[in-house]
Amino acid sequence: MDDPLHVSKSVAIPRSELQWRFSRSSGPGGQSVNTTDSRVELRFDFAGSPTLTAVLSEATKERALARLAGRLVDGAIVIVAAEQRSQWQNRRAAEERLVAVLAEALAPPPRPRRPTRPSRGAVEARLEAKRRRSQTKRQRRAPED
């Protein structure tokens, strides 16, 4: 459990930077649900992480902060897991979700779209299809006297 969380090949978060909170979960579990703290809340201070500041460039960190803007609470990412009956399984689920969220935020931006034009043959085929359709509809009309 001392090994760091690996977000990518170059980014690993030490578990000491993660903050955990446990509480009672709702849902299935019978009588034990009222006695075990199986709901897990994982908090990671993305904006103030010394590890990420040392590893990431300023531009990458700014891009990730912009992508995570809707998820951040006071500069921290909060992940809640309460699907499983056991606290241990919920801890694993929360860690996996955190890694997925961070990997998506730190991913490089997509390549810009290179504008293209339809080929001359494609344009002619489209216009020919429109002419045929128009002709078909014109033939369905009642004859004009």
Model pLDDT for residues 28-75, shown as the tens digit of each residue: 666 665 667 788 999 998 888 888 888 888 888 888 889 888 888 888
Domains in the chain with CATH codes: 5-106 (3.30.160.20)
> What pLDDT does residue 117 have?
96
pLDDT value at 1 more than 60 = no
Rounded (5°) CA angle 31-23-52: 145
Beta-carbon contacts of 18 under 8 Å, excluding residues fewer than 6 positions away, are 5, 42, 43, 44, 98
Structure tokens at 142: 């009642």
- Which residues make Cβ contacts (< 8 Å) with residue 37, sequence separation at least 6? 22, 23, 24, 25, 87
Q: Is the pLDDT of residue 82 over 90?
A: no
Comparing 82 with 118, the larger pLDDT belongs to: 118
| E strand residue ranges, 57-125 | 72-73, 76-81
pLDDT digits (tens, 9 = 90+) for 93-145: 999 999 999 889 888 888 999 999 999 999 999 999 999 999 999 999 998 87
- Report which DSSP code applies to 32: G
| 70 three-class SS | coil
